[in-house]
Every structure is written in structure tokens, then in C-alpha cells.
Amino acid sequence: MDLLEYQAKELFSQVGIPVLPSQSIADPSELKNLHIHYPIVLKSQVLVSGRAKFGGVRFVENTIDAIAVAQSLFNLSIEGEYPKVILAESRYDVENEIFLGIMFDYVLKKPVLMGSSQGGINVEILLDNLQTCVIEEEFLPFHARHLVMKMNLKKKAIAPVTAIIEKMYDLFIQNDLDIIEINPLGVKNNGEVMALDGKIRINDDSLNRHPNLLKYLNKDQFLSTVYSCLEINNKSDIVIISDSIDEAIFILNHLEGKNIFTQKLYVLTHKNQQFWTSNITQVFRQIIENTSVKKIIITHSNQDNFVDALIEEIKKSHQEEINYKELISQDREERPTGTRLWNETPKSKQKTNNLYRYIQWSIRTFSPHLLSEQESLNLLPIKIDNNLDKILQIILKD
């Protein structure tokens, strides 16, 4: 998963890599309430490279010009990609621009430090001056300094650039990144440095270890599928199901703040009643057949009657459980071994009795008819409320 520049800079600032005052803009009108001083630079937030060559980076001196430029940037396609966010950032003049990067080499199976004394948009010159340092074992400050010396930087830049590489490596390791780059890192003659642009690629397989990074997920990737499932923490007994990625991630992070972790996060994107009516059984069974799941949090608008269909499945499963227990009880009266029950049970149900166990379903919805039905569901392990705090309290108290 690649991050946009403003997202990468959020992570930079967390480890002390200097970044300029900035503000992300989702609509040109937001520039009327800009919190940084002019002159500024407006940058189109797209993942494709070379945006400056396509006019995706513009300098402006005042609010009127900024609004006009922002409108043009939102309508500017850069290799087929339109920005949803523009970064407004303070202007910063430097004497030199360099390139710094760290990547995991999957051939060597080791991290590699990279640096070039010539950063910026001219890739050929950058590569001609590129220096590398492979981290064979444990990373030491020596490795960062060794790379900087190979880059042949001015004396005053050696210490601050070395410090930046060390912070980049901390971020790289802490978050299981595939790539982290600063291009360019602005360097002034007095040794002051500033990350002017950045790139971060997160290893998708590592997201289960870093729930804090889920907020950076590209939500568009969920729109092309019926539902998506993210593995978070296999040791947990909690599953979250939601039709809102924002709300799901809020719950996930809220629980994590209380040291309660989530096993899986299901994001439902299909908004079609007919689909859920005909396919809910398959989805329901897939979600609960994991024997470690004991608590399920659902936040859903119910515009497509998903929650109605799900409750019917829970009722059906609950009745199956009652019938199953009654059958066991009758069989034990005749044969303590339960052999007859096993022989008479269809093969498909002999594989597992995963469905016949207690699971707490906590549902947050604003659907009026569901909220009025709570009393009729009291015999089932279902709690329905329109207050998210109350739903979370059910999970927290157990």
C-alpha cells in the first residue's frame, strides 16, 4: 500500500523528521481558512510519479490565486489519476536537494540504504550519483554515516543528514515498510534540513501487526468488492462488521487504546437487498465458523436490510442449536456414547459443531424498526442500540 505525500509526512513527523507547516485541502473553499502563511505551494496528492512535470505542483502568493489554482488541480488528471486531496504547504528555499531512501531487497532479504547528492525530479542525474549501503545484520549509526560519507556532502550537512537516515530506519523497522523515501531532502548551507517530499510503501501483509496504519487504506479498493476482510490479530476473539470503513477503523483503534484487539475486520460494500437476502447464509457461516470468535460488533445503516437478513440467520442458527442440544439429550438417555446421533447426522454437519456455541452479537444501527424489536430478541444473544458507546461497553465489560 502506497501512501500519499501528506500521509507519509504524518509518519515522518512522528519520528522527528522535520516537515514544513502544511494543511490538506479537500475543497478549494477550505483555502479561505488556511492556517499557514503565504507564499505557499499547492501539491496534487496522487500516487503517480512526475506530477511536477504535469503541472501538479504550483506556487501561489495569495488566497485568490490559491483558490483558482486549487480548482484547476482538482480537475487535472495526472496519468489518469485525479486528486481527492491537495496539500497546501509553506514555501521553503534551499541551496541543495538530496535523495534518501531505504528499501527491503527481497532478493538479498536485507534492508538497503540509498542516498544521492542530487535529488529532485531529474531521475537520471539522481541515479548517476546514487550510493547504497546494505544492512547485513543489525543496523548501527555507523551505517548511516557511512552512506553519507559516500555521498560526498558538505561538512555541515553530514551530521543532520545522518540523523535523518537513523530516524527513517526507525520508521522503516517499526512499521514493517517496504520502501521509505525522501526526495528531495532540502539542505541549507548552515546544515538545516527539511523533508520536502516523501514516499512510503507499507507491506500489506504487515497490516495485521500495525492497526494504526489502517487509517491510510485507500477506501476505493473496497468499492469494487462485495466485502473485504482484513486479518488483524489472530489471538483475538472479536470481529468487526461494518458498511463504513471509517467507523470500523474508529472502533478498532478505540478498542486498541484499551488494549483490546480485533481478530478480523469485515467491510461490507454491497448495497443491494436482493444480494444479501440470497447470499447472507454463505457470509454468515464464513464469519462464525472460526471457533475462536466469541464477540461480533456490527455497525450498519441497514439501508440494504443486511441486518434484518443477518438476524434471521442468527435466529435460524439459534434454533438449530436448540434442536441439536435436544437431540443430544434424547440420545444420551438411550446411549451415553452418542453413536446413534453421529450416524444419523448428515455428513455436512458432522464436520463441526462450530455454530452451536455462544456468540455475542452487538449491533449498532439507526434502523427504527430494528431498535423497536430489541425486546423480541431478548432470548437471543443479540443487543441492538443506536448508541455506539453502549455497544462498545458490552464488549468492554466481558
- For 1-50, the DSSP string reads -BPPHHHHHHHHHHTT--B--EEEESSGGGGGG--SPSSEEEEE--SSS-
Query: What's the pTM value of the predicted model, to 2 decimals?
Result: 0.63
Q: State the pLDDT at residue 393.
A: 83
User: Cβ(110)–Cβ(88) under 8 Å?
Assistant: no
The three cell numbers of residue 277 are 437476502
How much is the pLDDT for 267?
77
Residues of the chain with confidence (pLDDT) below 50: 222-224, 341-342, 347-353
Query: For position 243, what pLDDT does the model report?
Result: 80
- Residues 113, 165: Cα–Cα separation, whole Å: 8
120-171 pLDDT tens trace: 888 889 888 999 999 998 999 999 999 999 999 999 999 999 999 999 999 9
What pLDDT, on a 0 to 100 scale, did the predictor assign at position 263?
Answer: 81
50 sits in the region (left: phi over 0; alpha: psi -120 to 50; else beta) called left
For residue 320, the SS3 value is helix
For residue 235, how many other CB atoms are within 10 A of its CB? 8
pLDDT value for 273 = 66
| CA–CA dist 296, 361 (Å, integer) | 5
**CA 370 to centroid of chain Cα atoms:** 31
Strand order in the sheet with 40-44: 22-25, 86-90, 40-44, 57-60
Edge to edge, what strands does the sheet with 295-299 contain?
A: 227-231, 264-268, 238-242, 295-299, 360-364, 382-385
Is there a cis peptide before residue 39, judged by omega within 30 degrees of 0? yes
Whole-number Å distance between alpha carbons of 319 and 342:
19
For 269, residues 6+ apart whose C-beta sits below 8 A from its C-beta are 222, 223, 225, 226, 227, 228, 243
Give the burial string for 266-282 (b: 16+ CB within 10 Å, else e): bbbbbeeeeebeeebee
Contacts of 375-378 spanning 24+ positions with Cβ under 8 A: 377/311
pLDDT confidence of residue 224: 46
| pLDDT reported for residue 372 | 79
CA-based nearest residue to 309, from 333, 290, 282, 291: 282
Find the helix or strand (DSSP H, E) in which 265 lies: strand 264-268
d(CA 264, CA 239): 5
